[in-house]
Amino acid sequence: MRRPALYSSSRRPTQEPIDQPAPGAQARSPGPVAGVSAFFSWSNPRLLWAALLVLTVLLLVSLSLSLRPSQRRLTQEDINAAVLKTLETTQLPSAAAKAYEAIRPSVVRVTGYGKSKDGKEDVEYGVGTGVVIVDKGIILTNLHVVQGAQTIKVVFSDGLESTAHITGAQPENDLAVLQAHKIPDDMIAATMRSTGDLAPGDHVLAVGYPFGIGPSASAGVISGLKRTFRSPEGKQDIRNLIQFDAAANPGNSGGPLVTMDGEVVGIVTAILNPNQQRSFVGIAFAVPIENAASAVGLTPF
């Protein structure tokens, strides 16, 4: 819609006769138009209110800009404070918990069976632990867990149960190599790590089936290296062992000893029993993974 023309409210005076210029005199230019002059006059109330409105808007904008806080750049102190606050308010998993989750899919329960006296049924005579080191179902365990068994069964972390047979042995280190007859579709083999830089005080985790319960985890430290253990019957000395103080009990035999990264550095093989009660007193031993890997023909680290 077109805006109507704006006019001044003033009235023009009655028009007087226009004098004719004298002959030879220069004609005067007409003066300002009365309507235009009135439109720009401050006596025009519409113009006055419009001016006041413009000034008010400009004043409000100016105040808004002056009151707005200036943005401050983040400093390293701000970042450090934010990280510290997050650490204080967020519960992170422990190193042992992360190591357990890394090794758990590779740990198996190993059970040896023999025939009853009447030869009619299988009887469980030994429970231990094993660890998958090749994803086609090759498992390391202790020889004493499966030696003499007529049937060997393994249970994987997902619950799959399979029979297995011995494919190799290293009696001097109490090691046996098993091949499972069935394996999970998503079988995950453990990661092995050199013991070359292990030192007393390093944190380790022992995972296994103590007394058939598990998988169970116990944490401790490396207590010593290159230890020698004599079997309770005194028939065998096992040398170059890793001594550790993470709790190990009957059933832990053959299980992995892992770092806080979940990498295998040894195979749990024995506990010291000065009282012959087969209970843990704080001293356990593991065969270094270099020896264990050689039992299956794997290249040493």
Q: Would you name the residues annotated as active-site residues?
A: 144, 174, 253
**The tokens 């090794």 sit on which residue?**
103
Compute CA distances 90 → 77, 80, 83, whole Å: 20, 15, 10
Rounded distance, CA 63 to CA 267, Å? 75
User: Using alpha carbons only, what angle is made at residue 299 by residues 263 and 136, rounded to the nearest 5 degrees?
Assistant: 65
**The tokens 């069964």 sit on which residue?**
153
Closest CA to 262 of 206, 196, 223: 206
The secondary structure element, H or E, covering residue 257 is strand 256-258
* Structure letter (DSSP) for residue 12: P
Q: What is the dihedral angle through the alpha carbons of 166, 169, 175, 181, rounded to the nearest 10 degrees?
A: -20
Q: What share of the chain is helix, strand, coil (3-state, %, to 5)?
A: 25, 30, 45
Given a contact cutoff of 8 angstroms between Cβ atoms, the answer to whether 249 and 211 are in contact is: yes
- Residue 255 neighbours by CB distance under 10 Å: 36
Rounded distance, CA 32 to CA 36, Å? 8
